[in-house]
Amino acid sequence: MRPPSAPSTPLKIGLDDYRALAAFRYEIRCFLAFSEQAARAVGIEPQQHQLLLATRGLPAGARPNIRTLAERLCVQHHTAVALVDKLERRGLVRRQRSKLDKREVLVRITPGGARLLRELSHLHRARLQQAGPELVSVLSSIVAGLGAGPAEAWPGEAWPARAQTA
């Protein structure tokens, strides 16, 4: 994941922008908290659920190897290996040598892993059907209006000074 780059010209950020960004962050955190709780309720860790989902939901043409899965989860290679190890011990995934390149190991979801992922996916879709409209509304307001409103100073003072870098 690349670090964000600063815009060439500073955007004016007003109070409404801060409120929209905070509301968006709140909605994301609520969904993530739900997701973590749902994964634990079926006996797996949230990152294990994310690996199952990333494996099943890879873009067309992407191969479910450790490198690709680590990238999709935004984790280090060794972390993805550990997640696969744990899921494999539980019988939810298995490793398979690629037929095209015997050096490549692919991660495959077992029937038990597919059942668990399907159950969690149904729960997540239901949750998004409830929370989705608010999330979309907040995101739309950010995309449409970020920097459009008047800039406002911090209460009782001017804008905070930027840290000096050497």
Q: What is the CATH number of domain 15-145?
A: 1.10.10.10
- How many Cβ atoms are within 10 Å of 5's Cβ, its own excluded? 6
Question: What pLDDT is recorded for position 17?
Answer: 87
Q: Cα 28 to chain center, whole Å?
A: 9
Per-residue pLDDT of the chain (166 residues; tens, 9 = 90+): 566 666 666 678 888 889 999 999 999 999 999 999 999 999 999 999 999 999 999 999 999 999 999 999 999 999 999 999 999 999 999 999 988 888 889 999 999 999 999 999 999 999 999 999 999 998 998 888 755 555 555 555 454 555 555 4
Residue ranges covered by each domain of the chain: 15-145
Q: Cα 105 to chain center, whole Å?
A: 24
CA distance 85 to 66: 11
Cα–Cα distances in angstroms (integers) from residue 27 to residues 84, 130, 135, in the given order? 29, 12, 6
Question: What pLDDT is recorded for position 151?
Answer: 53
Question: What pLDDT is recorded for position 82?
Answer: 97
Question: What pLDDT is recorded for position 71?
Answer: 97
Q: Specify the DSSP class assigned to residue 43.
A: T
Question: What pLDDT is recorded for position 7?
Answer: 60
